[in-house]
């Protein structure tokens, strides 16, 4: 029997796919942001990259945050879990670990539903 508080399996799979892509992209973007900040503030370099990457990273993070909220609502996560996953986007490498954990848990939920 399918739990009534969850979205349909196809909707969850789509949301998971979008989340997975954006988690990887956000993780890479966060790593690049750290490099950019070292270049800008540690090495006192100024170029197109150091002037603009912060904005690019911000847009990538907003898309990542939207994908977390989308997946979390479809899986009926409590608000605290959504917030904790949003905070993973502020810690280098954390999006990669969070993505693996969430993917495994979501696939487990979907396997039990069928």
Residue 4 lies in a domain: no
For residue 103, what are the domain limits? 9-113
**pLDDT at res. 79:** 96
Rounded-to-integer distance, Cα 15 and Cα 88, Å = 18
Structural domains in the chain (count): 1
The 10s digit of each residue's pLDDT in 56-101 is 999 999 999 999 999 999 999 999 999 999 999 999 999 999 999 9
8: tokens are 């349909």
Q: Is 2 helix (H, G, I), strand (E, B) or coil?
A: coil
Task: Tell me phi and psi for residue 2, to 5 degrees.
Answer: -85, 130
Among 61, 57, 59, residue whose Cα is nearest residue 32 = 57
Residue 3 lies in a domain: no
Task: Name the pTM for this structure.
Answer: 0.90
């Amino acid at each position: 029997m399918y739990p009534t508080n969850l979205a349909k399996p196809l909707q969850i799979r789509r949301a998971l796919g979008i989340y997975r892509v954006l988690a990887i992209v956000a993780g890479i973007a966060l790593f690049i942001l750290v490099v950019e900040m070292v270049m800008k503030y540690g090495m006192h370099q100024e170029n197109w990259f150091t002037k603009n990457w912060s904005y690019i990273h911000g847009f990538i993070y907003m898309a990542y945050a939207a994908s977390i909220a989308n997946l979390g609502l479809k899986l009926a996560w409590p608000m605290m879990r959504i917030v904790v996953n949003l905070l993973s986007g502020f810690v280098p490498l954390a999006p990669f670990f969070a993505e693996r954990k969430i993917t495994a848990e979501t696939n487990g939920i979907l396997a039990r539903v069928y």
